Structure 1
Amino acid sequence: MAERPTHPTYDMGQHPDIAALRARYDLAAQSRSGQSVSGLAFLSGLYLAISPWVVGFFGRTTLTVNNLVTGIALALLAAGISSAYGRIHGLAWVVPIIGIWTIIAPWVLPPHGASVGMIISNVVTGAVITACGLATVTLGTMSTHRG
């Protein structure tokens, strides 16, 4: 015979304070600026994923795979932030890290000696991603302070 718990179980996700905080985060993400930042991050992720074929450095396997994987990850993360920011706001810090990695990847990943086109593509895309990430993190912080 199974024993019944002596204390009632309580789901912290249903706590009124947590529900109110999630609602504030969701309202911030649904604002024009929140949707613009999420949309730009999503498009940047898609561009990052296809950039080896757009710029023409698909011969460099390591950088090609890196940009494809990080681009897809960023696009999925941006879509999640756009649709459920209240639940995944804790992952927003990953976006600027992906941006910084995108900037330094041509110099860090072997083989070294990236072309000018590769470097410009990654640096500009990385800068846009970093700016979007910082805006996303700030968006969550500002909604917390306003409430």
Structure 2
Amino acid sequence: MENWTNAKLCDVANLILGAILFLSPWLLKFDAGMVSTNAHIVGLVMAVLAIAALAAFAVWEEWLNLIVGLWALVSPWVLGFQGMTTATTVHVVIGIAVAVLAAIELWVMSQHPPRLTTHS
């Protein structure tokens, strides 16, 4: 039960991080075409994956979270907006947080796979 609770806390954290990334162009005033579009899409994908994981956990969701988190981390350099300090910082910090949370969940699940039955 403890692993389930920790996984749900990670998913709630990912939901919040996705929402922050989605809203960040407006909140932090870096609304600049491709940069804000990237923040909106990546934030929305993070939030949707977190909601899906909260509804019914699946390992593939964590792998996608890891990929999306890594994309957020490297996107300032791939898309060429690394000179925009605020946008880069938001993408990098949230990307690292989401990727680390996904990696932790994947590691925990590999150490303690979920039981398919409630019988001992």
Q: TM-score, normalised by structure 1?
A: 0.70
Distance 2:82 2:114 in 1: 46
**Two-structure CA RMSD over aligned residues (Å):** 2.2
Give percent identity, aligned residues only: 21
Which digits, 9 at most, give the CA deviation of each residue in 1:95-127, with x for residues without a partner?
1111111111112114x4532111111111111
8 Å CA contact 1:28–1:143 kept in 2: the answer is no
Distance 2:104 2:28 in 1: 27
Which digits, 9 at most, give the CA deviation of each residue in 1:59-91, with x for residues without a partner?
x21111111011111101111111201xx3223
Aligned to 1:133: 102
Aligned to 1:32: 5
Distance 1:34 1:128 in 2: 14
8 Å CA contact 2:35–2:87 kept in 1: the answer is no
Give the C-alpha shift of residue 93 in structure 1: 0.5
Change (3 A) 1:139 1:81: farther
8 Å CA contact 1:28–1:140 kept in 2: the answer is no
8 Å CA contact 1:103–1:122 kept in 2: the answer is yes
User: Structure 2 counterpart of 1:93, which letter?
Assistant: W
8 Å CA contact 2:82–2:88 kept in 1: the answer is no
Change (3 A) 1:74 1:113: closer
Structure possessing the higher radius of gyration over alpha carbons: 1
Aligned to 2:33: 61
1:96 to 29, 53, 66: 66
Name the count of aligned residue pairs: 116
